[in-house]
Amino acid sequence: DAGITQSPRHKVTETGTPVTLRCHQTENHRYMYWYRQDPGHGLRLIHYSYGVKDTDKGEVSDGYSVSRSKTEDFLLTLESATSSQTSVYFCAISEVISYEQYFGPGTRLTVT
Amino acid sequence: AQSVAQPEDQVNVAEGNPLTVKCTYSVSGNPYLFWYVQYPNRGLQFLLKYITGDNLVKGSYGFEAEFNKSQTSFHLKKPSALVSDSALYFCAVRGTTDSWGKLQFGAGTQVVVTP
């Protein structure tokens, strides 16, 4: 998993609580991404970052926010978790826009 | 808008037989195409990519893929499947007129290789 760690790896939380997922890379890649994986949908982009403090929305960004204060860390926050946000969340990195992305091991989030 | 279709939810193949996983795409401009594999409870692993050049691309673990521009396809192939190839396979695409590196993923194809 190419120098990418995600924490926590598993989390169960209650509806309405805030949740923060962390992605940490040791590759010094400029671009970082957050995806969610749901059966039948493949991976869908939530937010992405093209540099420190430079972020933008993906296709399923509602209910999520991100921050990137250092090159190596990209945080995903669910401001008030809902059951529809139960999913597996993957972080990815890439060195160049057009090159392949490398994925972390994932975080399985359950919202009860 | 970009889109990717993987028409088969599951592909079943006997060990030693050829394996093909289908992918068709729609993008603006020229496509950048990728295949990833996901083993249970793991992240996605990059297999191969097509950016430009030879239409037949070779990748990891003996996999290859053929880019066909007229049919807008990028099918993944392996001449002789192994039981260990059983996994979930994703095709992804981005177009060159896209101003950012956003990948569009297909829904995935589960490959089951039986001994």
Residue-wise pLDDT tens digits, B14-67:
999 999 999 999 988 888 999 999 998 888 999 999 988 899 999 999 999 999
CA angle A73, A104, B38 (to 5 degrees): 165
Six-digit token pair at B6? 């993987």
Closest among B102, B114, B88, B80 to B31, alpha carbons compared: B102
d(CA B104, CA B91): 8
Q: Does A10 touch chain B (CB under 8 A)?
A: no
Within 8 A of A104 by CB-CB distance, chain B residues are 43
Q: Nearest C-alpha of chain A: how many angstroms from B105?
A: 6
B101: pLDDT strictly greater than 80: no
Beta-bridged to residue A77, according to DSSP, are A20, A65
**Whole-number mean pLDDT of chain A?**
93
A37: pLDDT strictly greater than 70: yes
A12: pLDDT strictly greater than 90: yes
A36: pLDDT strictly greater than 70: yes
A49: pLDDT strictly greater than 80: yes
- pLDDT above 90 covers a percentage of chain B that reads 77
Cβ pairs bridging A and B (under 8 Å): 55
pLDDT confidence tier of residue A31, bands split at 50, 70 and 90: very high
End-to-end alpha-carbon separation of chain A, Å?
Answer: 29
Beta-bridged to residue A64, according to DSSP, are A78
pLDDT confidence tier of residue B1, bands split at 50, 70 and 90: confident
d(CA A112, CA B28): 41
- pLDDT above 70 covers a percentage of chain B that reads 95
pLDDT confidence tier of residue B2, bands split at 50, 70 and 90: confident
Q: Does A89 touch chain B (CB under 8 A)?
A: no
Contact A31 B101 (CB under 8 A): yes
Beta-bridged to residue B46, according to DSSP, are B36
CA atoms within a 13 Å half-sphere pointing along the CA-CB vector of B14:
1
Closest among A42, A90, A47 to B89, alpha carbons compared: A42
Q: Does A88 touch chain B (CB under 8 A)?
A: no
Interval B108-114 mean pLDDT:
97
d(CA B67, CA B50): 7
